[in-house]
Structure formats: C-alpha cells, structure tokens
Amino acid sequence: MQLKEFQQLIRDRYHATDSARGVPATFLWLTEEIGELASALAERERGGGDHEALASEFADVLAWLATIANVCEVDLESAIHAKYLVDGGPDGTK
C-alpha cells in the first residue's frame, strides 16, 4: 500500500467524524497515540513488551497523523516529496 492509498483509506472511513471533531481535538488524539507508542517503546527498552503491540502503536500513530493531515487538507505524499525528495532534501536534520 502506498502512503496516498493509506491516507485515502483513513479519509474514506473516518473523515466525517474527524472533520466534525476539528483540529484541536484530533491533535489531542494524535498526541495520546504518540504517548502510547512511547510507553510501548519504553517497555521494549526495559527488555519486555510485545512486538505485535509495538507495531500496532506505530500503525495507530500513522493513522492519526493521516487523520489530522486529512482534516487540514494536507496530502502527506506530496508534502514528503516536496520536503525530502526535491533537490536532494534537507541536509542533516528533519
């Protein structure tokens, strides 16, 4: 699956609810998912955790990132191309 296809899948499934929620509340959901990913990564660093659960948290973060991009009408694939592929992309930092 391409990133554009994933973003469209999220839009098709959730956009009505997501756009009604708005940017601030959607951003809070994204940060909550980032926190859950942080917890899963911390558990992994302590030698525990479940790889499948960790992978699921990565997927959730990506889904919520696509969600907020949709609400803000940002095409992630185009944004990534413009930022990282045009003229060799940025040097050194993201």
pLDDT tens digits along 18-44: 999 999 999 999 999 999 999 999 999
Q: Would you say how long the chain is, in residues?
A: 94
Is position 20 within any domain? Answer: yes
* Tens-place pLDDT, residues 49-81: 899 999 999 999 999 999 999 999 999 999 999
Is position 93 within any domain? Answer: no
Is position 72 within any domain? Answer: yes
pLDDT at 94: 57
- Number of domains making up the chain: 1
Is position 7 within any domain? Answer: yes
* Tens-place pLDDT, residues 3-20: 999 999 999 999 999 999
Give the integer Cα–Cα distance in Å for 53 and 48: 11
> Residue 76 is part of a domain; what is its CATH number?
1.10.287.1080
Is position 80 within any domain? Answer: yes
Is the per-residue pLDDT at 91 higher than 90?
Answer: no
Q: Is the CB of residue 65 less than 8 Å from the CB of residue 79?
A: no
String of DSSP letters for 16-67: HHHHHH-HHHHHHHHHHHHHHHHHHHHHHHTT---HHHHHHHHHHHHHHHHH
pLDDT at 89: 67
Is position 29 within any domain? Answer: yes
Is the per-residue pLDDT at 92 higher than 70?
Answer: no
Is position 94 within any domain? Answer: no
pLDDT at 69: 98
